[in-house]
């Protein structure tokens, strides 16, 4: 990589939402770069082993569709071990198949990929315009210039570097608990007990407060396990992240012992893999032009500038001394474009879990189903903004029309 590179759209963060943003902007004809600190796309869905990919609707009615739904449906049709069938809850995917699928689609649409790269700082052209970001790799620092930047870092890194105000529950209720996902294999599925009986066994021998949470892998004999947990830590602090990783990995082995010793069908089970990266549910949330609230999602509020919908439950994991909260929604709600843009910066869009919400709304919209839809909208919006150099002044009607052309539900 040379010292200076230039693109129309620069997307920072190759998770689900960032990948969709890059695909969508490149598909619109924009010269697009997608940067990620790891060596694969998919973020939590792949490097984090967070499966299944939820939530797409209520009962039998989809409220999220678009390109993301099509990608997952195509995966399931290609190979019976790639993904389970699409549903309104969401499919369970094999992480390796998903990495390859997302990478292939990004490249086919003309996205330039840059792995193993971090962003160090943001440089401003004027008070409200980002000139470039300074990235670093094993070769040192280099500059990446763009006309529009999309912050898909999950933690809102680019927004924070640019001086955008944000909210964090770190100093109040606390950030939600962290989890290290794992795949357990070697299971004799023909001999396992039903969920209720397995839960009773877990209750007798549990190693933490989590409920029995298994999601069967597309490959028979393997399951994704979402049962490790540690709270009262800061997802931006490397000391806390290290502590959480060590503790959750210990819990993973303790959980395996419970399964092997007490649950039929798990006698020869083993940990195939713990996730390469810790699952962080919550850090920064930007203060955008509109802050999506708990009242908005509980009332199923509609917005004129809606660019996506969601129906995921309010799902707040333990925080400091606060208990977990889980509340199923009765209907879907719309997500306004204003929650993705800021008052301060004219060429910056946020997508993924760092968008502008309160903590309750965040716990619903942070899931990956909405992430697919938000990313697609962010990418198209960035491409439209190239016409007037301001993401805050695009045609919402045009954005909505393009989203609908890809079967988006707004």
Per run of 10 residues, the mean pLDDT along the chain (length 410 residues) is 86 98 98 98 98 96 98 95 97 98 98 97 97 96 98 98 89 85 98 98 97 97 98 94 98 98 98 98 97 97 98 91 88 98 98 96 97 98 96 98 98
CA–CA gap between residue 34 and residue 12 (Å, rounded): 6
Peptide bond between residue 52 and the one before it cis (omega within 30 degrees of 0): yes
Query: 303-332 as b/e, with b when 16 or more CB fall inside 10 Å?
Result: bebbbbbbbbbbbbbbbeebebbeeebeeb
Cα Rg of the chain (Å, integer): 21
CA–CA gap between residue 9 and residue 14 (Å, rounded): 14
Task: Note the pLDDT of residue 172.
Answer: 65
Task: Note the pLDDT of residue 319.
Answer: 85
CB 122 within 8 A of CB 158: yes
CA–CA gap between residue 223 and residue 243 (Å, rounded): 25
**For every residue of the chain, which 3-state class applies, written as one string?**
CCCEEEEEEEEECCEHHHHHHHHHHHHCCCCEEEECCCCCCEHHHCCCCCCCCCCCEECCEECCCHHHHHHHHHHHHHCCCCECCCCCCCCCECHHHHHHHHHHHHHHCCCEEECCCEEEEEEEEECCEEEEEEEEECCEEEEEEEEEEEECCCCCHHHHHCCCCEECCCCCCCCCCEECCEEEECCCCCCCCCHHHHHHHHHHHCCCCCCCCEEECCCCCCEEECCCCECCCCCCCHHHHHHHHHHHHHHHHHHHHHHHHHCCCCCCCEEEEECCCCECCCCCEECCCCCECHHHHHHCCCCCCEEEEECCCEEECCECCECCEEECCCCCEEEEHHHHECCCCCCEEECCCCCCECHHHHHHHCCHHHHHHHHHHHHHHHHHHCCCCCHHHCCHHHHHHHHHHCCCCC
CB 20 within 8 A of CB 375: yes
CA–CA gap between residue 51 and residue 364 (Å, rounded): 16
Task: Note the pLDDT of residue 1.
Answer: 59
Residue with tokens 């549910």: 281
Number of residues assigned to the chain? 410
Query: 137-173 as b/e, with b when 16 or more CB fall inside 10 Å?
Result: eeeeebbbbbbbbbbbbbbbbbbbbbebebbbbbeee
Q: Write out the two tokens for 291.
A: 């802050």
CA–CA gap between residue 373 and residue 293 (Å, rounded): 19
Q: Write out the two tokens for 255.
A: 């959980």
Q: Write out the two tokens for 138.
A: 């094993």
Task: Note the pLDDT of residue 321.
Answer: 74
């Amino acid at each position: 990589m040379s010292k200076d590179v230039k693109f129309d759209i620069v997307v920072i963060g190759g998770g689900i939402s960032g990948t969709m943003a890059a695909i969508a902007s490149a598909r619109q004809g924009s010269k697009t770069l997608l940067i990620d600190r790891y060596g694969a796309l998919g973020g939590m869905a792949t490097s984090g082993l967070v499966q299944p990919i939820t939530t797409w609707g209520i009962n039998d009615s989809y409220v999220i569709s678009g390109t993301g739904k099509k990608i997952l449906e195509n995966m399931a049709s290609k190979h019976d071990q790639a993904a389970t069938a699409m549903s309104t809850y969401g499919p369970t995917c094999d992480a390796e198949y998903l990495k390859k699928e997302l990478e292939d689609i990004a490249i086919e649409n003309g996205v330039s990929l840059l792995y193993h790269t971090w962003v160090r700082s943001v440089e401003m052209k004027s008070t409200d315009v980002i000139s470039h970001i300074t990235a670093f790799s094993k070769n040192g620092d280099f500059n990446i210039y763009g006309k529009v930047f999309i912050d898909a870092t999950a933690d809102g890194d680019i927004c924070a570097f640019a001086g955008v105000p944000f909210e964090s529950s770190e100093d109040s209720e606390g950030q939600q608990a962290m989890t290290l996902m794992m795949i357990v294999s070697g299971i004799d599925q023909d001999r396992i007990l039903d969920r209720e009986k397995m839960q009773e066994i877990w209750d007798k021998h549990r190693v933490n407060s989590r409920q029995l949470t298994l999601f069967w892998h597309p490959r028979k004999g393997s399951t994704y396990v979402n049962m490790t947990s540690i709270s009262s830590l800061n997802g931006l602090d490397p000391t806390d992240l290290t502590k959480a990783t060590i503790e959750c990995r210990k819990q993973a082995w303790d959980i395996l012992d419970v399964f092997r010793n007490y649950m039929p069908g798990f006698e020869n089970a083993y940990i195939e893999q713990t996730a390469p990266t810790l699952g962080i549910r919550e850090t920064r949330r930007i203060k955008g032009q509109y802050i999506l609230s708990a009242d908005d999602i509980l009332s199923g509020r509609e917005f004129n500038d809606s660019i996506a919908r969601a129906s995921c439950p309010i799902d707040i994991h333990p925080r400091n001394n606060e208990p977990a909260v889980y509340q199923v929604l009765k209907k879907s709600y719309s997500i306004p474009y204003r929650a993705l843009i800021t008052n301060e910066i004219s060429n910056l869009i946020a997508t993924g879990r760092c968008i502008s919400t309160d903590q309750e709304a965040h716990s619903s919209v942070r899931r990956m189903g909405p992430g697919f839809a938000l990313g697609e909208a962010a990418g198209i919006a960035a491409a439209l903004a190239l016409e007037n150099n301001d993401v805050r002044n695009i045609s919402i009607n045009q954005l909505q029309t393009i989203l609908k052309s890809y079967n988006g539900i707004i």
